[in-house]
Structure 1
Amino acid sequence: MVTIYDIAKRANVSPMTVSRVINNSKQISESTRQKVQAVIEELGYIPNSAARSLISKKTKILSLLITDITNPFFTRVARGAEDKAKQFGYQILLSNTDEDFKKEEDYIDMLLSTNVDGVLLAPTGDQSKKNIKKLIKRDIPFVLLDREIEGIESDIVLGDSYEGTRKLIEHLIQQGHKKIALINGPLSVSTARERHKSYIETLKLSNLKVNHDLISEIGYNKDDADTIIKNLISLPKFERPTAIFAANNFIAVNAIKALRKFGYEVPKDMSIVCFEDFEPITGFNPFLTAAIQPAYSFGYTGIQFLIERIEGKAPKEYRKIVLSPEIVIRESSRLIKK
């Protein structure tokens, strides 16, 4: 195994000089830096990250803590985060909580022991405040992603859940739907609260009745919407919905599967719209009318904010970025007679 002493001997410099080159010290002349770098490449030396961190007090490792890696939204978030981190010479440690507070807690404890430089995290819900306070206590920089936590001050990158919901509900109303169901995520999550609020207010502004029998909650990554769909289609005909707003893509797909079990077709018998998108799925139709968020930008911007905090380049005031979704109309919603 090649060491800095081998590099020093071949380059005819001291081991300290090699260490300074590896850690990008400004105390080295450009000619010496180039000479040492040439030997490093020649011998294929890979710096020991643990040793470097002892000198620089930085690991150059960031944590990305997300709630569901199987959701294409978070897959694209991770890609944006990784691309931005690489630009600045950082590496990403990816952790997936599955919307589970206990898993989130275990990962936070693990991150504290690995001395990551900072954390970009999508909280599992309001209860995440307890876990985030551990980061604050240890003075570890962090940025919140996609979800807010009341009482926690930080940089944050959000999507416009309220506006996206409003536009989707208005789209359904314009198609003639007056009875629109909401299958929402847990109200302990800020995105679900925003979508619930927008759903209610948009119906009221359109002079439509808010029927609480049409409102339900389910986990964002649960795979069984059968009970909710059965309850909706079992309502008296004059109360039964003609359309469903699903709080995310997984809920929408599971609702469509449940409808099919009960003999309903989308959009012939029920229109569906949702937040987020899927990559094309072979044999799955109809493609969803959706509010599609710029997921790549969530991760890219979040990591930029985090690195600026770590390196002391961020403004004193915390920043809040709200990214607008794109409304894409597809075949899962249809015009009905008014």
Structure 2
Amino acid sequence: MTTIYDIAKLANVSAMTVSKVINNTGSISEKTKAKVRRVMEELNYVPNQMARGLVTQQTRLLFLLITDITNPFYTTLARGAEDAARKYGYRLLFGNSDESLEKESGYLDTILGARADGVLFSPAGDRSLPHLQKLRKQKIPFVLLDREVPGMDCDVVLGDSKEGAKLLINHLAERGHRRIALINGSSEISSARLRAQGYAEAHKLNDLELNEDYVLETDYTSHQDLRVMSGWLDRLSPRPTAILACNNILASEAIETIRAKGLKVPDDISVVCFDDLGYMSRISPFLTVIAQQAYEIGYLGTQLLIERIQDKDGQRPWKKLILPVELISRSSVADISGQG
């Protein structure tokens, strides 16, 4: 394994000089820096980030903790975060909590062990507060993405969940739908609460009856027990003419459940949701969706995190960025306004 002593010998400088070049410390001429870096490249030398961090108090590592890597929303978010990290000279590690507080806690130990400079965090829910408090106690900067946690003041970047739900309900109401069901995530998740609020507010604005039986609370992860969704739909009488699914995974499962009953989308039940289904939406665009700026959430969140890392005095005020959403109308909604 190549060491700084090997580099020093070939570059004809001291090991201390090599160390200063690697860590960008001390007063070294540009000519000497160029010579040392050239030798490092020739030897394919990769600096030990842990050892370097002990000197600079920075590892140039960021950690992204998301809740469901199978969801195209988070895949796109991660792409934005990685692009921003690379642009500013950081490397990005990531973990997937599967909406599990236990897994989230395990990743927290990994983050602390890796001496990450900062964390991009999509929390499992409100009960993630102790995990955030632990990061704060260890003086590790973090930015929340897509979700907030009550009781924690920090930088946050999210899409406008409440407005998105209102836009979808308005879209359905304009096409004659008056019995609109909601399949949502847990009420312990801030985005789910905001979408439920938007659903309720839009019902009032459109003079629609708000029926609690038409609301199913589940969780956002994939591989749900479809029998629960199927049984819920069977109990609804009269049957809803439309369903708002609060993410793309729930939407695909709702469509699967509807089709298993011999019904059609949108002829029998229309379906709308938050976020597209990744590449499938390019191949066969079908779902009417609220498109969130997933890439920008990841990119801007990383920028905020790096700014927070560089704010040694801790004087910057907390920032909350709520990015606008866009309604994309497709063929998963039937126009029943002409029906009596």
TM-score tier after normalising by the smaller chain length: over 0.9
> 2:39 and 2:204 mapped to 1: Cα distance?
71
| 1:207 CA drift (Å) | 1.0
Alignment of 1:166-185 (within 5 A): 166-185=166-185
Report 1:297-336 matches (<5 A): 297-312=296-311, 316-336=316-336
1:232 partner amino acid: L
Residue 287 of structure 2 is matched in structure 1 by 288
CA distance in 2, matches of 1:231, 1:71: 24
AA partner of residue 281 (structure 1): M
Residue of structure 1 in register with 2:39 after alignment: 39
Give yes or no for contact 2:80–2:298 (8 Å, CA) kept in 1: yes
Q: Deviations over 1:240-278 (max 9, x none)?
A: 210000010000000000111111110010000000111
Q: Distance in 2 between matches of 1:137 and 1:234?
A: 48
Task: Quote the residue 1:15 is aligned against.
Answer: 15
The answer to whether the 8 A contact 1:68-1:97 is kept is: yes
Task: State the Cα deviation string for residues 122-141 of structure 1 (Å, max 9, x = none).
Answer: 00000000111110111111
Per-residue CA distance 1:33-60 (angstroms, 9 max, x = gap): 1121122222222212222112111111
Q: 1:72 is aligned with what amino acid? A: P
Residue number in structure 1 paired with 2:233: 232
Q: Secondary structure at the match of 1:158?
A: strand
Instruction: Give me the whole-angstrom Cα distance separating, in 2, the residues matched to 1:89 and 1:286.
Output: 37
Conserved in 2, the CA contact under 8 Å of 1:225 and 1:251? no
Partner of 1:198: 198
Instruction: Indicate how the Cα distance of structure 1 residues 98 and 290 shifts in structure 2: closer, same or farther if over 3 A, else same.
Output: same
2:156 equivalent to 1:156: yes
Structure 2: stretches of 5+ with no match in the other structure = none
Matching residue of 1:245 = 244
Q: Which secondary structure does the structure 1 equivalent of 2:327 belong to?
A: strand
**Alpha-carbon contact 2:214-2:236 (below 8 Å) kept:** no
Q: Please name the residue that 1:279 is paired with.
A: 278
Q: Cα gap change, 1:38/1:264 in structure 2, threshold over 3 Å: closer, same or farther?
A: same
Measured in 1, the distance between the counterparts of 2:206 and 2:327 equals 19
- Opposite residue 289 of structure 2, the aligned amino acid is A
| 3-state SS, counterpart of residue 280 of structure 2 | coil
TM-score (norm 2): 0.94
Report if the CA contact (8 A) 2:216-2:232 is conserved.
no
* Secondary structure in 1 matching 2:334: coil
TM-score normalized by the length of structure 1: 0.95
Percent pairwise identity: 50
* CA distance in structure 2 between the partners assigned to 1:127 and 1:175 by the alignment: 39
Return structure 1 stretches of 4+ with deviation > 4 angstroms: none
Taking the TM superposition and a 5 Å limit, the aligned residue runs for 1:4-83 are 4-25=4-25, 27-83=27-83
Structure 1 residues 323 and 118 mapped into 2: Cα distance closer, same or farther (>3 Å)?
same
Q: Which runs of 5+ in 1 are unaligned?
A: none
For 2:35 and 2:53, how far apart are their aligned partners in 1?
24
Alpha-carbon deviation of 1:178? Answer: 0.5
In 1: Cα distance, 2:43 partner to 2:270 partner: 63
State how far apart, in whole Å, the 2-side matches of 1:58 and 1:280 are: 37
One-letter amino acid matched to 2:113? S
